Amino acid sequence: MRITNQVMANTMLQNLNTNGSQMSKLVTQMATQTKIGVPSDDPIASTRLVQMNREQSAINQYQSNISRLSGSLSVQEAHVKAVSDQLQEVQDTLLSAANGVHSQADMEGFGQKVDSMVDNLLATLNARNEDGRYLFAGTKNDQPPVIYDEASGKYVYQGNEGTRSTTVANGVDIVENTALAQTFGDGSDPLALLNKLNDISKKMQDPASSPDSYQDELNALLGDVKTTSDAVSGLFTDLGGRQNRLTLLDDAHTDIKTANEGVIRELSDTDTAQAYVDFNMIYASSQAANKVYAQLSQLSLFNAI
């Protein structure tokens, strides 16, 4: 094969372009501190980076959901705790009233106190969040779950037993709401305890009613309050379990996110020291090639004559 001056010139120009492109790429990497400006710089690393960034975005959304849900559960915990305390107060009041030694005036005072406690329970059952949605109405959270029906003279439940869930990890959903009102019901009346307390309060405050006439009812009501109180305690335990699960998931997300950040840095960040060494090697190679080409270009057959 004949090597002409034109062939040497073209080869040299090609080498210069290649070396110049490589040096320009290294300068850009050192300036931006990233190895990948466009996907073609490293197709495999670029694909992994897209996957890692997608996963990081999903984790950020999960953690946002966890934060919002944890706040909502904390509000519900506070209200459930309030109901538990209110039921304890109701039980103490009924115990005091059931000892059989009080006058009618005393019983009237107990009745007024029970009436006030029922109002407190009603207010808690109809508690709302910061968006104005009712916490304990199931999925019908745009209206009060518990109302007093004047026609029947009873408290009625107008929510439902539906649940809402929030996705907090891949394939993991946690229930948002708590069925607090359902702990007050029995097989025939969804709000049996409230209605029984309301009835006994009226009897206590009725001058025509003798305490002996509702003594058995009062004793039975103590058992109903205890049953509801135990059910409310179970809800409190369930809420605590959900909060603990959210904490564990959030910690796991944080660990995964930290690990991913390390991989992303490894894939994308420029090793400045190595890039500097590579730049100097390419520069030195270009300089040597220039010198060789300069010497070769001076060669001529006339020099041998």
Domain limits, the chain: 5-33+270-304, 51-259
Task: For residue range 182-210, list pLDDT tens digits in order.
Answer: 999 988 899 999 999 999 999 999 998 88
Single-letter amino acid code for the residue at 206: D
Single-letter amino acid code for the residue at 198: N
Whether the per-residue pLDDT at 99 is higher than 70: the answer is yes
Dihedral angle at the C-alpha atoms of 9, 13, 14, 17, nearest 10 degrees?
A: 180
Percent with pLDDT over 70 in the chain: 74
| pLDDT for position 62 | 98
| pLDDT for position 266 | 78
Here the tokens at position 39 are: 């996907």
Alpha helices in the chain (DSSP H): 5-32, 43-97, 104-125, 192-205, 215-268, 272-297
Cβ pair 90, 115 in contact under 8 A: no
For residues 17-21, give the mean pLDDT: 61
| pLDDT for position 184 | 96
Whether the per-residue pLDDT at 33 is higher than 60: the answer is no
Helix (H) or strand (E) holding 157: strand 154-157
Percent with pLDDT over 90 in the chain: 61
Architecture of domain 51-259: Up-down Bundle (1.20)
For residues 91-114, give the mean pLDDT: 90
| pLDDT for position 1 | 47
d(CA 287, CA 293) in angstroms, rounded, equals: 10
Q: How confident is the model at residue 289 (pLDDT cuts 50, 70, 90)?
A: low
For the chain, helix (H) and strand (E) counts, in that order, are 6, 4
Nearest to 242 by CA among 66, 11, 86: 66
Dihedral angle at the C-alpha atoms of 106, 112, 114, 117, nearest 10 degrees?
A: -140
Whether the per-residue pLDDT at 58 is higher than 70: the answer is yes
d(CA 165, CA 73) in angstroms, rounded, equals: 12
Here the tokens at position 180 are: 């607090």
How many residues would you count in the chain?
305
pTM over 0.85: no
Helix (H) or strand (E) holding 275: helix 272-297
Look-up of token digits 């019908």: 140
Task: For residue range 258-271, list pLDDT tens digits in order.
Answer: 999 888 877 765 65
Q: How confident is the model at residue 150 (pLDDT cuts 50, 70, 90)?
A: very high
Q: State the burial class of residue 76 (Cβ atoms within 10 Å of its Cβ: 0-12, 13-18, 19+).
A: buried
Cβ pair 115, 82 in contact under 8 A: no
Cβ pair 205, 111 in contact under 8 A: yes
Tell how strand 172-175 and strand 154-157 pair up. Answer: unpaired
| pLDDT for position 195 | 97
For residues 37-64, give the mean pLDDT: 85
Single-letter amino acid code for the residue at 94: L
What are residue 34's DSSP bridge partners? 269
| pLDDT for position 292 | 61
| pLDDT for position 84 | 97
Cβ pair 146, 155 in contact under 8 A: yes
| pLDDT for position 92 | 96
Single-letter amino acid code for the residue at 105: A
Task: For residue range 242-254, list pLDDT tens digits in order.
Answer: 999 999 999 999 9
Q: How confident is the model at residue 146 (pLDDT cuts 50, 70, 90)?
A: very high
Q: How confident is the model at residue 297 (pLDDT cuts 50, 70, 90)?
A: low
Computed over every residue of the chain, the mean pLDDT equals: 85
| pLDDT for position 264 | 80
Cβ pair 27, 280 in contact under 8 A: no
